[in-house]
Structure 1
Amino acid sequence: MKFDAKKTIAALAMSATLFAMPVSALAVTVDSTGNLLTKSWTQMPAELHKVTSQDFTLTYTGVTDTVGTIAGSVTYNGNALAVNGTVPVTLAAAAGTTAPAGTVSFASAFANVDFATPGVYSFTLTENPTTNKNYSYNTANASYVVKVQVVYDDPVAKTVKVQGITVSDPSDNKQDENGGTFVNTAVDNAVLSLTKKVDGNQADTAKEFSFTVTLTGLEPNATYSYTNGGETTTFTADANGSATVSIDLHHDENVTINNLPDGATYTIKEGSVDITADMKETEGADGYKVTATGFDGNLANGETDTVTVTNTKTATTITGLAVTFLPYIGGLAAAGAGVGALVISRRHKKDADNF
């Protein structure tokens, strides 16, 4: 099962004269309400959106176009921010949702970053690799260059203001007037399908068989689902990314566990019997022989593992004549012999009379 949908983060690029910022006494903080980036997660099953935030890193890369001999001065939380110093940026999930959806403004991205002197301050805004097993991100568009232009608001008082902000693509250093785009893509999700079959001349097709499916390599604390007929049931992985599901199946019933992450592993038990790869004639409960096909225990590259477990119970067909029927057969033979003798006797008598 494959999803090719793209998750888009739109970065609104601002021209060099777009923002006029309020002035502080000696330093200025970016306080525009303009949106630096927005993010939404779409076309993924809602139960997989157990993501409370998406992290980005703002890295200071240097200052140019300073005034005379005045050095650039930028601080974060009151401490000097050196070249290659970093600032964490977090996009939290919107209230009432289970996935990051909302905006990061210039003000929040540059929270507690202060500029004290004129210059063009350059930063790189980078999306941190996601740890969610259900998503990947495009490394070719994982970062954008953000430049903050700071100028004198009052050269005499030496107060400064933010004159404008631009966003550029680092691959070609061109300002992106329509905003940069971070591309997030849903990974190929795998499916585990389990089908029950019952066979043999003593098999009970109404019998219910109990299975235990144990999954590992899931997204920790994420909710998944399986379908059985028209019914959907959810289950939640633990903090280690493991889950155990108990399922009851009759003959010809199937259960499908959906949206499992790439690299997940699984084990299956029918009662106390371990299902193994291409298992043959394993003794099961109630006189059934258990066989299985399609099992390998691993899910990769968005594949579907179709596991079929067959329980067979067959009675041996009786050949030859049972001893209990011999007296009846003997009686019939004797009766037949008597009738034959009577016919012969009568024929001899008739021949004698005619003579």
Structure 2
Amino acid sequence: MRKNRGFVALASAIALVAALFGGVSTALAKTAAVPQVNKQLELNPGSTVTATFTYTITPTELSTGTGSEKTYTDGPAATIDDIALNNASSDANNNGTGAIKFGGETDASAFAHAGVYAWTIRENATANGSGIGAFQDDAQAYTLIATVVNGDNGLEFSSFEIVRGEATSVTNTNKTDKIAFDNKYTETTLENGADLTITKVVAGNQGDKSKQFEFTVTFAAPSVLPKGQTAAQTLNAITATANGATDIQFADAADGATTRTITFKAADAKGVTFSNVLVGTTYSVQEAAVDGYKQSWTATSNGVESASQASLLIGENANNGTMTNTHEDVTPTGLIINNMPFIMLGCVAVAGVAAYGAAKRKLEK
């Protein structure tokens, strides 16, 4: 009997503890964190930009599913903090977050009463900021649904739901876990004056400065493309200006292609300037070997010195390359024909001395 009483007491204690912890869990569950707006900016390597992104958040009426009842629209003024990206590049400073506030607060303290509220969130068109290229804004809309309840310490958010698109009801299947806007930024060398120039130099005492050397340049498109354009279209937009080079041949990139090849010939101090190249494009350069000449390549790739001839980045900074061909001077060996008369005179003189010596010896005998 005592054992049963002890078991009952233990069970009651466990139930009491469970009830207490259950109450704490329920109270904690009533406070939900306000979501943030997430920003991601995609740029090609070689590009940098500073820009500020702004947002609009507007109350909206949604059906609650209970007769004609709608969500409330009399909540406090909702705002989203601007997101500023300074010197954003392809691998740094290219993402951020903006806080959503209600009456300037990130909790439910500014609401007048409990209920279900909803807002539509959009990103405003982006000003160019410090950049000279073009932004591609994210046109995606989101619907934010918040449930405000009467908590132990006043009004609290019990939950948030995020819907992709403009919802019409609190019951949705197109739910997501965050509000995220993805923008793109592109620019060309035509806009920033960072065209690519390739130059030929002939060196060596016996170098033929009039000789034409054959070049092949292959461009590869980057991943972030201007709005509505394909990789082939961006490559086919590249132009070439002859700085004394000859026989420039363009092979247009076909639909679906991601590379384009251009050939030309250049003598000493001649070359080609390539313009309207999408920043982030890479290029590889080859020169046909010529007997008697040793090749040497140096380049500045987006302002950085390089000796590579493959996958060189074209960026906002200086882009150029110089192919130097040094002639290996030839030193002739053997007799020089122009000196033959003098050699023959020397031989005659030597022969005369020898004949004179022989004759003198005969007389002495």
Which TM-score band applies after superposition, normalised by the shorter structure? 0.3 to 0.5
User: What is the TM-score normalised by the length of structure 1?
Assistant: 0.39
User: What is the TM-score normalised by the length of structure 2?
Assistant: 0.38
Greater relative contact order structure (CA < 8 Å, 6+ sep): 1
